[in-house]
Amino acid sequence: MRTLQNLLVIVLSTYVVATLAQETTQDGFDARKPYIVYMGELPGAETSAMARHHNLLVQAIGDEEIARASRIHSYGRTFNGFAARLLPHEAKALAEEDSVVSVFPNTMRKLHTTRSWDFLGLPIKLKKGDAQIQSNIIVGVLDTGIYLDGPSFNDTGYGPPPSKWKGKCVKGDNFKGCNNKVIGAKYFNLDSNHPWRGKLSPVDDEGHGTHTASTIAGIPVQGASIYGIAKGTARGGAPMSRIAVYKVCWPFNGCSDIDMLAAFDEAIADGVDLISISIGGPSKSFWEDPIAIGSFHAMKKGIFVSCSAGNDGPSEGTVQNVAPWVTTVAANTIDRKLKTVVKLGNGKRFSGNALNTYTLKKQMYPLTSGTLASNKSENSYGNASACDSSTLNADKVKGRIVYCLGSSGQDFTIQRLQGAGTLMTQYELEDYAYSPVIPGTGILVKDGIKIDQYINSTKNPMAVIYKTRTVKTPDAPNIASFSARGPQRITPNILKPDISAPGINILAAYSRLASISGDPEDKRFSLFNMMSGTSMACPHVTAAAAFVKSFHPDWSPAAIKSALMTTATAINTRVGGNKLGTGAGQVNPKKAAHPGLIYDITVDDYISFLCKQGYNSTNIGILGGKKNVSCSDYKPPRGTDGLNYPSMHLHQQANDTSVKAVFYRRVTNVGYGSSVYKVKLIMSKFFSIRVTPSTLKFTRSHQKRSFKVVVSGGTPTAGVPVSALLEWDDHKHSVRSLITLYKDPS
């Protein structure tokens, strides 16, 4: 009898697989693709979400077994939805269901890749009471996992996790478990069509997640450095906070929408207070963006979410993660930069830019150029002067420093040919450092010309590349060259990014499972590394938010964002950026803890705003968690942007001939009980500003006052953003709001 049952199971399984193969193969290609079916709030307790998901799939696909095999994952801890492999017509059928908010294909997103906290003025030591409060704050980090076997995550002195914590610690390869510092760890790799071929584990194979987590909440580690460079105390901005890790990004595969939405679902239910996401992709409608969806549900639970703005700058219109309920973070410089010196045999020195961890053993090495080291073969393709692969003669490279035109990873080519080092040219030195796999540095083109002349005019040209050292730079902060810029196109009258933070050459904890350059052939491993990107800026703002929350545990995510934005330090936009790249300026955690006034935003405010943006009532109703809601139930928001945002922005069309914008704002007194704020304006020559009333009087704490800002005048030059500054001042607090205008080019 058991044998017959087994045989029937095998026959049925074979039938299902064959049917699936027939369904999913079209001209030799897999036609069934992963989609996310988002359904808003969870159904009532009387309804099983998973059963409802299965029924919807059966209805759309028409076959129960194929429907069961097609479902990838059900979201059901904090919001409703599922992921499944669908054909296009099935996705369309599901999208037409009344209970479905949106259906969108799964996409792969990418990661946005010490001294910084001193630069921001945050003290290294906490008072005993502040440390206790901070230890009750839990930060969720969606990233590449964590490498726990380093000093930054030591849990000595920590008590058990806060009682609100409901998460788990999943063990795996190279990951034996959590501790009282890192209290939770999970991994998500739900789409088996794109598996990571290594072993599944929360451990960090890439170093990125370890770096971001330690920037937020790593304990102080004295004497930290990367091969002796930038030696000092590495620490997080909220060093007593707990960490919960959600691994959603995998080597070579990137970060799946399906996995990220599942991580949000878990993190919200687990009881985190803040979520940090240094991941992004092209901006989409909010109902098709897993970060916008997940963060909306987080916001409703009082969870602050910060996201990196992206690394596609300096081009305009590149900013990502633009939902108004998230805090979008740009990257800026700090007052430390790296300097790598090249010395020639004639004594001349040139300063370059690299993270060169090597100390050469000899005082001088033979120096040549790609041109002179050419293999001169007619069969080779490429440019020998640029040291292109296959154009160089190994005998002419071995043991020599090679000068190459351009900067395109020539260090790998020279390494394979056993060269001693490489010099690569740039028209302008980058503001961030690259770590070559052999001794090397980038140099200016004009210096490269002099070096080339020396090579060609000297019988035995020689050179040496010194190990990188750090130097102080007085002009920080400036916006990073790579940091993404506005304007954004999803909700054009909301300025994004919101704020900036240090994101260049940041020293923080790293994984010893990854080389410091990330290249498998690189043999350098370290518990600390320097990395650059808005990925590094985002955790600075997460930590600043945790710092503010430790003083004000009852504040909403919008209140914390307001405090961070209105107390930020202005950034010089004349160097390396424009006014649509900096947001409110560089975060200032100490000032943000006592902002004086805040611009708060409720869930209903966001729903009214979405109505103004043209989102349909059904979708908003499901997302808002209220049945039978429509935009007519909400008072239409007033003004150009329709949201009580801490900044004010007008995005004009190319054919607009004049400026007329009205912004309605409401502030809450969180400072002294009785206070009087007077308005100050730093005007623009391009437009006029009128604020009514010009004085705000408060008689008690938590009192609210409203005001109106009218901006008028001629239109600015197309494609050139212009700005002004509105400031409320009571002689104790300065509450600043950036006002920007941008006109589309014709």
State the Cα–Cα distance between residues 92 and 293, nearest whole angstrom. Answer: 20
Position of tokens 């504040």? 555
Instruction: Judge whether 720 and 704 are in contact, CB under 8 Å.
Output: no
Cα angle vertex 653, ends 602, 648, to 5°? 30
Name the nearest CA neighbour of 548 among 498, 598, 607: 598
- E-strand ranges in 504-594 read 506-509, 528-531
Name the nearest CA neighbour of 292 among 255, 247, 261, 246: 261
Q: Which of 208, 649, 651, 733 is catalytic?
A: 208
Name the nearest CA neighbour of 614 among 599, 595, 636: 636
- According to DSSP, residue 311 is labeled S
Question: Could you give the C-alpha distances from 460 to 374, 427, 436, 594, in angstroms and in order?
Answer: 18, 27, 25, 64
- In three-state secondary structure terms, 660 is strand
State the Cα–Cα distance between residues 152 and 211, nearest whole angstrom. Answer: 10
Question: Could you give the C-alpha distances from 529 to 164, 181, 212, 434, 517, in angstroms and in order?
Answer: 33, 21, 11, 12, 9
Instruction: Judge whether 468 and 552 are in contact, CB under 8 Å.
Output: no
Question: Could you give the C-alpha distances from 505 to 52, 216, 524, in angstroms and in order?
Answer: 49, 16, 18
Instruction: Judge whether 497 and 328 are in contact, CB under 8 Å.
Output: yes
Instruction: Judge whether 248 and 182 are in contact, CB under 8 Å.
Output: no
Name the nearest CA neighbour of 569 among 734, 376, 395: 734
Determine what percent of the chain falls in helix, strand and coil, rounding each to the nearest 5: 25, 30, 45
Q: Which of 102, 276, 535, 647 is catalytic?
A: 535
Q: Which of 143, 205, 388, 452 is catalytic?
A: 143
Joined tokens for residue 554:
């009852």
User: Which amino acid is present at 160?
Assistant: P
**Long-range contacts formed by 192-199: CB under 8 A, 24+ apart:** 192/72, 193/30, 193/34, 193/85, 194/108, 194/253, 194/256, 196/250, 196/251, 196/252, 196/253, 198/173, 198/251, 199/172, 199/173, 199/174
State yes or no: is 535 an active-site residue.
Answer: yes
Residues in the chain: 746
Instruction: Judge whether 689 and 681 are in contact, CB under 8 Å.
Output: yes
Name the nearest CA neighbour of 146 among 71, 202, 78, 187: 202
Instruction: Judge whether 695 and 676 are in contact, CB under 8 Å.
Output: yes
Task: Provide the sign of the torsion angle of the four alpha carbons 41, 42, 44, 47, taken in this order.
Answer: positive
Position of tokens 């930038």? 230
End-to-end CA distance of the chain: 78
> What is the phi-psi region of residue 533: left when phi exceeds 0, alpha when psi lies from -120 to 50, beta otherwise?
left
Contacts of 52 (CB under 8 A, 6+ apart): 43, 99
Q: Which residues are catalytic?
A: 143, 208, 535
